[in-house]
Structure 1
């Protein structure tokens, strides 16, 4: 997928890399949401190149429930961990993922 610096790309199906990001962010997402999630499966995402990369990920968390994650991945040379920047709860399957 070609990336535009500063702009988010079009939504696409989640990849194994995006699922790995979700797996790492699940405990932080549960803390921010104040509840445990039965499932935590990435469905789609978009990304934005900044000084690092923002990932906007739609995650199925069980039943008809979804959350949207905004995860920041620093540049590799910075040696910093992924950061869960924002979380939107009470999302539905039909809602598109985008910048927030």
Structure 2
């Protein structure tokens, strides 16, 4: 039985390391640059993001810049997106582990390049 518990702990530790060192429930410490996987995730909810943006929010660009994650029953992605020359938004996107269920679950406007990505 002790070996089973040890094996389970090591398995969870390996999963935690594979997920960038984040713990279940906690948001990752450092923002990471966006890669192709995150761009595709953002593209899947881009229509929802644009629909929820206030009409006075600049929209001359739409470029995901950086992101953090939170491991839940799936993954929450907190993404900084540049929408104009000096205009940024932060969005929260939920995805199940298989990425078959992806949805926009939060949006904050009025952000700057210097604003850290925090929990939404």
Give the TM bin, normalised by the shorter chain.
0.7 to 0.9
More strand by share: 1
CA distance in 1: counterparts of 2:24 and 2:119, whole angstroms = 14
- 1:31 matched to 2:51: yes
Q: Assess if the C-alpha contact under 8 Å between 1:3 and 1:48 holds in 2.
A: yes
- Divergent runs of 4+, >2 A: 34-38
- Give the alignment partner of residue 108 of structure 2, picking from 57, 73, 88: 88
Shift of 1:37: 2.5
Deviations 1:24-71 (A, max 9, x none): 221100111144833211111100000000000000011110000000
SS where residue 66 of structure 1 aligns?
Answer: strand
TM-score by length of 1: 0.88
Larger RCO, structure (CA 8 Å, separation 6 or more): 1
Gaps of 5+ in 2: 1-19
Unaligned runs of 5+ in 1: none
CA distance in 2, matches of 1:25, 1:41: 13
- TM-score for both structures, normalised by structure 2: 0.74
1:60 is aligned, of 73, 82, 94, to 82
**Aligned residue pairs: how many?**
98
Flag the structure with larger Rg.
2
